[in-house]
Amino acid sequence: MKRYLVEPGKKFKLSERNPEDTGDFEGGKKEGLKAIVELNEKLQTLQELLYAEGRHKVLVVLQAMDTGGKDGVIRRVFDGVNPQGVKVAGFKVPTAEELAHDFLWRVHKVTPGNGEIVIFNRSHYEDVLVVRVHNYVPEAVWSKRYEQINEFEKILAENGTTILKFFLHISKDEQKERLQARLDDPTKHWKFSLGDLEERKLWDDYQAAYEEALKKTSTVHAPWYVVPANRKWYRDLVISRVLVETLEGMKMKYPEPREPLDGVVVE
């Protein structure tokens, strides 16, 4: 899955990443969905181990343009995990109280504790994306945030948090189709907002803001993956693989029993 990394310190152009890519996976959608089910079973086991062991913390950051598929990833990739050990934190327009603090205040307090996986549905990156595109704060303020984010994520990493950041990369045409599908289906109207059409007009500004954010904040301790996301099955496959490989790499073990259990009989 290394091919989807944004390599720290290397040149990076978002426009050179193909949202349609299906890598060297030859099976197509049908085989892809099967592979996802297998990975999901592994993920469930690994997550239970993570929870039982209680040593590692895992932070998964999801960012995307509207309709990019953050909700779908949360639903499908994390299907069947133990809700006691996996939480989702969503970041909406900041409240007055949140705006009265620094931009990381609301973020830090929902980061994972030992044994937990926390999924960020949007994140502190909004503060260098939507905020930059709309000039909600002056450039002098947002331009300092890349470094602040790197330092913040370094603190988390050095205190036992594994950070994985995924940008779900869709094309502008794909977004059009997905917005239209939401309009056409009354059960999806709740997901539609006229504001999404206004944001769509700013597509190029957002792509530029994403490109800079991904380039400046992909670090060894908190790398970005640009996930080809036009095909939902491939998007889910890539993220599932990265998660499973990362958790397997932690070499976790179930904790030893609290007391010796040899010869213990349940009467």
Contact stretch for ligand ATP (CB under 6 A) within 50-58, 107-115, 127-135, 139-147: 127-135
Smallest separation (angstroms) from ligand ATP to the CB of 160:
26
Q: What residue has token string 């940008």? A: 167
Smallest separation (angstroms) from ligand ATP to the CB of 251:
35
Residue from 10, 13, 92, 258 that binds ligand ATP (CB under 6 A)?
A: 92
Contact stretch for ligand ATP (CB under 6 A) within 9-17, 47-55, 126-134, 255-263: 126-134
Q: What are phi and psi of 194, to 5 degrees?
A: -60, -30
The yes or no reply on residue 119 touching ligand ATP (CB under 6 A) is no
Q: Which CB, 122 or 154, lies closer to ligand ATP?
A: 122
Q: Which CB, 120 or 234, lies closer to ligand ATP?
A: 120
The yes or no reply on residue 201 touching ligand ATP (CB under 6 A) is no
Q: Which CB, 26 or 198, lies closer to ligand ATP?
A: 198
Please name which of 192, 194, 65, 180 lies closest in space to residue 133, comparing C-alpha atoms: 65
Binding to ligand ATP, residues 70-89 (CB under 6 A): 70-71
The yes or no reply on residue 131 touching ligand ATP (CB under 6 A) is yes
- Euclidean distance between CA atoms 120 and 94, whole angstroms: 15
Q: What are phi and psi of 166, to 5 degrees?
A: -120, 125
- Euclidean distance between CA atoms 155 and 152, whole angstroms: 5
Smallest separation (angstroms) from ligand ATP to the CB of 249:
30
- Euclidean distance between CA atoms 80 and 58, whole angstroms: 17
Binding to ligand ATP, residues 50-69 (CB under 6 A): 66
Return contacts of 193-201, CB within 8 angstroms, 24+ apart.
196/66, 196/67, 199/65, 199/66, 200/66, 200/172, 200/175, 200/176
The yes or no reply on residue 91 touching ligand ATP (CB under 6 A) is yes
How many residues make up the chain in this entry?
Answer: 267
Binding to ligand ATP, residues 205-264 (CB under 6 A): none
Q: What residue has token string 């500004």? A: 205
The yes or no reply on residue 93 touching ligand ATP (CB under 6 A) is yes
- Euclidean distance between CA atoms 119 and 194, whole angstroms: 27
CB 265 within 8 A of CB 63: no
Residue from 21, 126, 153, 236 that binds ligand ATP (CB under 6 A)?
A: 126
Which burial class, exposed, middle or buried, applies to 218 when counting CB atoms under 10 A from its CB (0-12, 13-18, 19+)?
buried
Q: Which CB, 33 or 88, lies closer to ligand ATP?
A: 88
CB 124 within 8 A of CB 107: yes
The yes or no reply on residue 130 touching ligand ATP (CB under 6 A) is yes
Q: What residue has token string 């330092």? A: 151
Residue from 29, 42, 122, 232 that binds ligand ATP (CB under 6 A)?
A: 122
User: Which tokens in the block code for residue 55?
Assistant: 């040593």
Residue ranges binding ligand ATP (CB under 6 A): 66, 70-71, 91-94, 122, 126-127, 130-131, 193
